[in-house]
């Protein structure tokens, strides 16, 4: 019996040594990281998350370098960089915007571009070489690309579109970047077609394309082609899909559509609702709701400047 155990152990050791021990370890760790991800999403302390997330992302990126084919790690990094950019880097940028500190605005625009580029690149890694070549092409090429892409790629397309849209937002002084807003619209509308056929189980993922379309349609004034009615419809749909628990959707609706239409009543009333709603209304997305509260307070404190 003892000899049988020794033989099995020797075979197991031989199997492990035949593969990359680092990859074996990373694969096990990746599974744990996926299961541990909710701890960040449930965080109630904004500053703690602000300080902790960059180190976590770099640690995961180190694991990915050891095992670059690990889909779980790529998924964590794609979502992680997009959400870190949205929740924290853009918050620093916005503080600089309201402070009218042009040097800091430029710095954070550059930093946001780099962070969202990481999200985009990780998403494109999974979408494949054709996407890497054609996402920046003309409208007809992108339309065909999306038509040829299966619904199984839905989340990768979503993160790629969200990252690209955010990069545009931080490079509005570059004409070539603004042209990609049309690409973002095409990507998000394609996702909504897929969602109409098969609704995502994840409420956040279901709402994010509507958030993106709300942002795109409220990017400029109606005189310059903005569509506040479309923006409002998408922000409201994001709220509906999340049972009114996604406070960031309401915050963005109030700020962007209120400002776009010069509707101070909408602005004030919707932000007041946000601050009257505890972030704990959605424990699974507590950190995102803390971000929403932080921004709602900022916008209201600058209400006289905005209007």
Please state the domain extents for the chain: 23-28+45-182, 199-307
Please check the confidence at residue 100 and state whether its pLDDT lies above 70. yes
Confidence of residue 36 (pLDDT cuts 50, 70, 90): confident
Q: What is the mean pLDDT of the chain?
A: 91
Question: Domain 23-28+45-182 carries which CATH code?
Answer: 1.25.40.920
**Residue 153 predicted with pLDDT over 80:** yes
At residue 256, the pLDDT reads: 97
Whether the pLDDT of residue 85 is over 50: the answer is: yes
Average pLDDT over residues 125-137: 97
Which of 61-70, 112-121, 137-146, 234-243 is the least confident region?
61-70
Q: What residue has token string 């995102």?
A: 288
pLDDT-based confidence at 175, cuts 50/70/90?
confident
pLDDT in tens, 255-295: 999 999 999 999 999 999 999 999 999 999 999 999 999 99
Of 216, 136, 211, 149, nearest in space to 180 by CA: 136
pLDDT in tens, 1-30: 444 444 444 434 444 444 566 666 666 677
Res 166 pLDDT > 80 = yes
- pLDDT surpassing 90 at residue 90: yes
Tell me: pLDDT of 253 over 90: yes
Of residues 285, 243, 268, the one with CA closest to residue 253: 268
- Report pLDDT for 7: 41
Residue 287: the pLDDT is: 98
Kindly state the average pLDDT of the residues 217-239: 94
pLDDT at 179: 87
pLDDT surpassing 50 at residue 112: yes
């Amino acid at each position: 019996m003892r000899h049988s155990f020794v033989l099995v152990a020797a075979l197991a050791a031989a199997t492990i040594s035949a593969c990359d021990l680092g990859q074996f370890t990373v694969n096990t760790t990746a599974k744990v990281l996926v299961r541990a991800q909710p701890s960040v999403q449930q965080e109630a302390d904004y500053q703690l998350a602000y300080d902790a997330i960059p180190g976590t992302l770099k640690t995961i990126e180190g694991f990915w370098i050891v095992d670059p084919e690990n889909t779980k790690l790529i998924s964590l990094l794609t979502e992680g960089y997009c959400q870190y950019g949205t929740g924290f880097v853009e918050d620093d940028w916005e503080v600089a915007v309201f402070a009218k500190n042009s040097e800091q605005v430029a710095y954070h625009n550059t930093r946001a571009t780099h962070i969202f580029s990481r999200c985009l690149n990780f998403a494109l890694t999974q979408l494949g070489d054709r996407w890497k070549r054609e996402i920046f092409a003309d409208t007809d090429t992108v339309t065909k690309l999306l038509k040829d892409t299966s619904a199984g790629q839905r989340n990768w397309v979503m993160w790629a579109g969200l990252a690209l849209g955010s990069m545009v937002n931080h490079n509005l002084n570059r004409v070539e970047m603004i042209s990609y807003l049309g690409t973002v619209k095409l990507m998000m509308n394609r996702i909504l077609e897929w969602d109409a056929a098969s609704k995502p189980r994840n409420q956040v993922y279901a709402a994010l394309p509507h958030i993106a379309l709300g942002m795109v349609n409220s990017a400029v004034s109606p005189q310059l082609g903005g569509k506040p009615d479309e923006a409002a419809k998408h922000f409201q749909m994001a709220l509906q899909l999340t049972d009114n628990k996604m406070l960031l959707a309401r915050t963005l609706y109030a700020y962007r559509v209120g400002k776009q239409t010069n509707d101070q009543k909408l602005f004030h009333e919707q932000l007041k609702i946000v601050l009257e709603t505890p972030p704990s209304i959605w424990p699974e997305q507590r950190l995102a709701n803390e971000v929403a509260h932080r921004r709602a307070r900022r916008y209201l404190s600058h209400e006289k400047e905005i209007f």
